[in-house]
Structure 1
Amino acid sequence: MNRALARAACVALLPLLGACSTLDSLNPFASKPGGPKMAELKAITASADTRVVWRDSVGKAGDYVLVPAVVGSSVYAVGRDGALTRFDNGRQVWRVKIGQTVSGGVGASERMVVVGTPKGEILAFNAADGAALWTSRATSEVLSPPVIAEDAVVVRSGDNRLAAFELADGKRRWVYQRPSTPLSVRVTAAPLVADRFVFAGFPGGKLVAVSLGNGAPMWEGAVAVPKGVTELDRVADITSVPVIDGREICAVAFQGRVACFDLGNGSLVWARELSSAAGLAIDSRYVYVSDDKGAVHALDRNSGASIWKQDRLFLRRLTAPLARRGLIVVADVQGVVHFLNREDGAFAARQTTDGSPVLAPLQANTDGVVVQTSNGSIYAIEMQ
C-alpha cells in the first residue's frame, strides 16, 4: 500500500471497531530493516528552466490534506488553524482567521471561497475581501476541497456522501449516498463537476455520475472489481480526483485499475491493471499515473498501452501527476518537485521546497504550478 495514504488517509473500519488506523502497518513497501528503501535522488542535467517566482506560508496542514485553489492570478490557501489567505501574484491581499480547525479546502471561484471543518461545517467567504457569507453543514467531517459549480457548492463528506448546497445562501439542495463497504480508505479527493454532472469515485472501485441539479444517479462505471479473500485484499477504492478531456473521463483505483469511460453514458473505453492512491492526469495524447510504488506511467490515450515508465522515484510517495507546458510534474515526501519530459519521462528539472511532504494535489497556474507543503509553505513555480 502507498505510504502517502498513511499521512493523508486512514483505513475506515466497521463502526463496531470504533476507529481508523494508519496504513503503515499494512504497507508491504514501508521502510523496514532489510526491506526496500526509498530511492535516493541522483543529480540530473536540467533540460527545462524552472524557478520559484514567489513563496509564502499559511500554516501547517497537520493530519489533513489542504489544497490551494487557483483562480486566474489569485491563489487561495488555508492552514489547519484556519488562517485563510488570498495571494495575487504572490502579494497577500487579505487574510482572515476563521476561528476553528479547517480540514477541507480550498474551493474557490471569482466570487466565493469555501472550506470545510472536522465538524462538517461548510464556510463560505467573499473572494474580494474574505468577509463571511454563509455557513451550512454536511453529514460528517469534510476532508476534501468543496467544489464551486455554476449555482451550487458540491461537497464530499467523510462518510462518502455527496451533497450540493445553494450558492446564494448555503441551503442544502440534495444528498447522494452509495452503499458502503466493510473496509475502505479515507478519501480526501474532491468531486469533479462538468457538463452539469458531478463525478466522484467511491469504495469498491465505482465511478459515479450524478446530476448537479437534483443528485439523481446518471451512470456508474467499474474502475476496479474487488478481489481476494480478506476484506483488506478486497479494498479497491478510488481515492483521487477523476480527470476529463473532451468526451472521456478517466479514474484510477487503489489495488485496482486505471480506466477511461465515455463522459455521456459511462461506457468503458479501456482499462488496465494499475494501482494508484495518488491519482492521474490526462492530455491530448496520454494518460499519466503515479503508481503506489513511486513510478510514473504514460499510457496511450486511446488504448491504455504503455508509452513510458519513470521508476527512479521508488517509494517516494508521489502526488498525482500534473501535465503542464510539455512537462509532467510530481512532488514527493521530501518536498521535492520533479519535472519529467512528456515524451519519454526523462528528468527535465527539479525544485526543492521546505523539505516537508507534499500531499496536496499540485495546481496549475498561468505560468506553471502551485505547490502547498504539509508544513504550510506555498510555492509558485514558473516553467519555461
Structure 2
Amino acid sequence: MRITEKLVGLGLLVLVAGCSSLNPFASKQTKNLPAKLVELKSSIAVRNVWKQSIGKAGAYSFTPALAGGSLYVAAKDGAVARLDAASGREVWRIKAGGELTAGVGSDGAVVVVGGAKGVVLAFDADGKPLWKQQASSEILSAPVVGQDVVVVRSVDNRIVAFDAKTGAKKWTVQRTTPSLTLRNAPGMVIGGDNVYVAQPGGKLLALTLAAGVPRWEAVVGEPRGATELERVTDIAGTPVLFDKDVCAVSYQGRVACFDAATGVPRWTKELSSDVGVAVDQRFVFTADEKGALAAFSREGGQSAWKNDALAYRRLSTPLSYGRAVAVGDFEGYIHFLSREDGAVIGRVSTDGSPVISVPVVAGTNLIFQTQSGTVTALAVE
C-alpha cells in the first residue's frame, strides 16, 4: 500500500518504511498505474504569466505565502525569497543559514519558516533576521502569522505561539497523538481571533490566538478498523475558511464543513483524501486517494460531480478560480476542470516534477510551486 511509505510511529518519530517524499503516492510498489493523459482540445485559455526557481523541496512541502502584493517562497537548501506576485520579479533572496523543512508563513511584516531540528526562523519584510526559536521537534507544517502572533505546530503535535516581533513564547498547547500517523504537513489557518489547526486522528481544533484557549474541537474522521494502519485518519492539507464555514478532509475519513464560530457540523460526507480542500461560493472540491476529483455543494454537502479521468496521478490540493478548478499532478501538469460539471477543459505543463504544495490565488494569477522548485503563475482567460 502506497500510504505505508508515509507513516510515522510517534513512539520513535521515524518512518515505518523510509519515506523519500511527503507525497504518499511515491511508492513504486502500487498496483494502480496512473491514468494516461489523452490528447485534449482545450476550451479554456491558460497563459504562463511568469516563472521563478527557488530551489528543490526535497522530502518536504513548501507552500508560497501571499501577503499584500508579495509572494514569499522557500526551499530545502535554506533559500527564502520575496517575489512580486504580479510580475514574478525577485525583490530579495536570502539564505536562512541552514536547511529548511517547512514554510512559508507571513502577514507581510514577518516571514517565518521552519528549519532543521525544529528551529523557527523569523525575518522582516526586507529579509533581515528578526529572531530564532526552538520547537520541541521537527516542523513539517507551515507556520501561520496573524495579529502579531506566530503559531507553529511540530510533529509531536505541540502547538506553540510566539510574539511575532520579539519571538517571546506566548503559549503552548500539547495534544495527544495516535501511535501511527501520516508523515504529512497538516495545516493551520488564522481567521479572526482564532487559529484552526488540523490534527492527526481526524480532529479539527480551534484555539484563541491570544492565549491558546480551545474554543472547540470537531471530528472530521473517526478511526475505524482492527489494526493501527486501518485506524489512521489524519486530516489532510490545510483547513479552508470561507464566509462563516471552515472545511477540511481526512484520510480514511470524511470531507466536512463546520460553523467556524462554534464547530457545529454543517455537513459531512464519507471520503478518503491525503490532500486538502478548495472552497468557493458554491462548492467544496477535493481529490480522493485514488485521484478522483469531486465537488460537493457547500451549503448541504450534496455531490455535484466526480471525475476519475486523472486516477492515480497523485493530485495536489485543488484550486477554484472563475469557471475552472485547477489541480496539479505528479508529472508537473496543471489540469483545469469545469467548475460546474467536472469535465477536463485544459492542461498546461510546468517542469515535470510533482506539484505537492497548496496552490495560491494572487489577484488574477494562480500560483503553483513544484517539488523541483519552479514557482509558476498562470492566468486563466
Q: TM-score range by the shorter chain?
A: over 0.9
How far has the Cα of 1:14 moved from its partner?
Answer: 4.2
How far has the Cα of 1:109 moved from its partner?
Answer: 2.1
How far has the Cα of 1:289 moved from its partner?
Answer: 1.0
SS at match of 2:352: coil
Is 2:375 the counterpart of 1:378?
Answer: yes
Task: Choose from 95, 113, 125 the match for 1:115.
Answer: 113
Is 2:227 the counterpart of 1:222?
Answer: no
> What's 1:245 paired with?
242
Is 2:180 the counterpart of 1:175?
Answer: no
Task: Choose from 103, 106, 111 the match for 2:104.
Answer: 106
CA contact (8 A) 1:2 1:293 kept: no
CA contact (8 A) 1:184 1:235 kept: yes
Identity %: 42
Task: Write the distance in 2 (CA, Å) between the matches of 1:122 and 1:377.
Answer: 24
CA contact (8 A) 1:38 1:316 kept: yes
How far has the Cα of 1:185 moved from its partner?
Answer: 1.1
> What's 2:36 paired with?
40
Task: Write the distance in 2 (CA, Å) between the matches of 1:293 and 1:354.
Answer: 23
Q: How does 1:122-201 map to 2 (within 5 A)?
A: 122-127=120-125, 129-201=126-198
Q: Which has the higher strand share?
A: 2
Task: Write the distance in 2 (CA, Å) between the matches of 1:31 and 1:168.
Answer: 45
Residue-by-residue CA offset, 1:250-285 (whole Å, 9 max, x unaligned): 111100111111111111121111001111111111
Structure 1: 5+ residue runs without aligned partners? none
How far has the Cα of 1:22 moved from its partner?
Answer: 4.6
Task: Choose from 81, 92, 110 the match for 2:90.
Answer: 92
Q: Residues 18 and 306 from structure 1, CA distance in 2 versus in 1: closer, same or farther, beyond 3 angstroms?
A: closer
How far has the Cα of 1:32 moved from its partner?
Answer: 4.8
| Deviating 4+ runs (over 6 angstroms) | none
Amino acid at match of 2:110: M
- The alignment of Structure 1 onto Structure 2 pairs a total of residues equal to 376
Amino acid at match of 1:213: A
RMSD over aligned Cα, in angstroms?
Answer: 2.0
Residue-by-residue CA offset, 1:6-52 (whole Å, 9 max, x unaligned): 5xxx211142585543579xx8996558x321101112221211111
CA contact (8 A) 1:31 1:38 kept: no
How far has the Cα of 1:71 moved from its partner?
Answer: 2.3
Q: TM-score under structure 1 normalisation?
A: 0.93
Task: Write the distance in 1 (CA, Å) between the matches of 2:32 and 2:182.
Answer: 24
Q: Residues 329 and 2 from structure 1, CA distance in 2 versus in 1: closer, same or farther, beyond 3 angstroms?
A: farther
Is 2:51 the counterpart of 1:55?
Answer: yes
How far has the Cα of 1:368 moved from its partner?
Answer: 2.2
Which range moved further: 227-236 or 242-251?
A: 242-251
Structure 2: 5+ residue runs without aligned partners? none
Is 2:286 the counterpart of 1:289?
Answer: yes
Q: Residues 32 and 115 from structure 1, CA distance in 2 versus in 1: closer, same or farther, beyond 3 angstroms?
A: closer
> What's 1:202 paired with?
199
How far has the Cα of 1:94 moved from its partner?
Answer: 1.0
How far has the Cα of 1:205 moved from its partner?
Answer: 0.9
Is 2:356 the counterpart of 1:359?
Answer: yes
